[in-house]
A and B are shown apart, each in its own frame.
Chain A
């Protein structure tokens, strides 16, 4: 048994180090964000702009703004995790754009940073690249097959009016409950603390993005109450807020943008960053 294990591991190590096996992107939900966290934390590369947010912003900037900017928006998480990654890696950009929304405590038990930057795993990766998620047999195989599991997901979906009606009904019927208010406030306070730490460590230009909401729910009491709390905890006197213009935002499910809307949002974000002194070459 041990002979088999050693033979397989050594053979795979040989194939990887001799470039017979080409790396691919991890295909599992969860491993993709761990790979992204490691990519940011372990590489020597410095980034001028980093985006921190949830799945709502994930992929939007990296796909539609062809620059050397880093997308730390993590599906299943929020801007808090992105900030945690920067603090754990002690690596900061010149400009940090964070998504502010009611998802700030999306999963209180979600700790991808500890998982991604576990010293044992990092030591193993340094020992041999075969322990890197990009060299997992599934990453290599599906990379070769050129199957895009994480293509622009919403583009393949049809806009479901039922789902949107459900959301509108829910959001209108249920304004922010006392518990939700406390939840959003706690999330905003946690984000404020992290942003202050980041600013203290290095003079990072922080932009808070007021995430546009689906046109069907943007005027509901729920959304206005969420924004009110966020702005009271992350006050405009301390942080620069950016609200993308327009009110015709379309989403596939009440939260995630359609491809066309995402392109518009990416253009507006890019224009705003240029205003902040980020030049067209990404510098």
Chain B
């Protein structure tokens, strides 16, 4: 069920009204779990079974870890839990990629049985959102092992865990929650406690980014797909690549903002996943602003256990490359995603080697140049993300240089400018000097009025000029 569909609108209204109805107050958790399962089953009823297995399995294992009488036993149970989660993810997400790669290298004997096995492995269904709820499951087991989360009874723990994994605003594409932050929030919610400011802000900005910006930019960004880019000029390809850069931000940040807004409507404080990533002055800063819940997950559960930055320089670089390549692969079962992660890993390594400082939020005379360089690096890296085939990537790069003499696609430039400007303005408004200037113009007194007008314009544009409703890009992960 898409957030920007009529079905979702009706679904959410029904759930929301029931949720705050006096008769349902005692059963809010159960209502949310049932609603989340309906939401999930709407698009893929059969694959709901995998989610149910994950909910049951992680409830049981994390409870057993918590109630273990020795650290050794708890460790073995936690390790088993993590391994099973990784195995589930690997079976459904990476079986096809690994089989395809294996068959490419090894000549297998031809028999109907072998062909059948290969066919089954190549066509494993991909349960939507599996990467997200698997990572949440792993963090739950580890956090319980570390003693960060405790529950009173098994029933309560199972209910909390089920809601934690299936909570529909974040189920499909994050943000990746932590049990330590979510469990304390599970309690009876009252209508009067809704944080309206937070809910309205994130819902309006999220829907605007998705419906007006991302869905419309999809028309221009499709020209970087193979073989569409072949007939384009270098200028057209670059414009389309920038369009994709703006689109993926608007699409993913849009989804995350809507999730935060919906969470606020239900009384939950979900973490903000994006903080204007395209004004980053370094890659390190970029990863502190882009898909924040994934980068902090990777930092806490992979990078730091490997030694983090407290080891010798070559080891730091190795850690960064390994961790970023795996983070790339997390996105999708294709080597192009691994290459995308590797590209970022190498970039981060170079920043460490050249001791480029992480100037998060500070502003100097060099900041514009650093922002442009970081944005260029990130935008170039989307080629690997978008095109997962090696031969297509190299062909893409060749085409960029070969098509310099082709005529400009002026229409596309105007189109991208029209729909991409909100992304630019959104980022510019968060740049420190501009933010200060705007604050001094509007003043504290009139800020709510200006905000109201801005929200009104955004809602109107989302209603009047919504693009074709595409699925969120991150749904496939």
Contact = CB atoms under 8 A, between A and B. Distances in A.
Contact of A120 (B6, B222, B230, B407): B6
Contacts of B414: 142, 145, 147
A154 B228 CA distance: 11
A158 interface: yes
B455 A30 contact: no
A158 B410 CA distance: 18
Nearest to B471: A109
Interface string A220-258: 000000000000000000000000000000001100000
Contact of B465 (A5, A34, A136): A136
Contacts of B460: 4-5, 8-9, 12
B182 interface: no
A90 interface: no
Interface residues of A, number: 39
Contacts of B411: 142, 147-149
Nearest to A2: B456
A90 B227 CA distance: 37
Given A12-B464, A148-B411, A141 B227 contact: no
A16 to B, nearest CB: 10
Contacts, number: 100
Contact of B227 (A118, A149, A163): A163
Could you say which of A7, A148, A149 has the most chain B C-beta atoms within 10 Å of its C-beta?
Answer: A149
Nearest to B119: A179
A186 interface: no
Could you say which of A2, A9, A138, A141 has the most chain B C-beta atoms within 10 Å of its C-beta?
Answer: A138
Contacts of A160: 227, 230-231
A141 B406 CA distance: 26
Given A9-B463, A156-B231, A163-B230, A31 B456 contact: no
B230 to A, nearest CB: 5
A182 B142 CA distance: 46
A1 B452 contact: yes
A115 B470 CA distance: 11
B453 interface: yes
B468 interface: yes
B418 A138 contact: yes
A179 to B, nearest CB: 8
Given A8-B460, A148-B411, A158 B455 contact: no
B218 interface: yes
B219 A1 contact: no
A137 B463 CA distance: 11
A252 B467 contact: no
Interface of B: 6, 119, 200, 204, 215-216, 218-219, 222, 227, 230-231, 406-407, 410-412, 414-415, 418-419, 452-453, 455-457, 459-461, 463-465, 467-470
Interface of A: 1-5, 7-9, 12, 27-31, 34, 115, 118, 120, 130-131, 136-138, 141-142, 145, 147-149, 154, 156-158, 160, 162-163, 179, 252-253
The 8 A-B residue pairs whose C-beta atoms are closest, nearest first, are: A4-B456, A30-B468, A157-B231, A8-B460, A147-B411, A1-B452, A29-B219, A1-B455
25 contacts: A1-B452, A1-B455, A3-B452, A4-B452, A5-B459, A9-B463, A12-B460, A12-B464, A28-B218, A28-B219, A28-B467, A30-B468, A31-B467, A118-B6, A138-B419, A138-B465, A142-B411, A145-B414, A147-B411, A149-B219, A149-B412, A158-B231, A160-B230, A160-B231, A162-B230
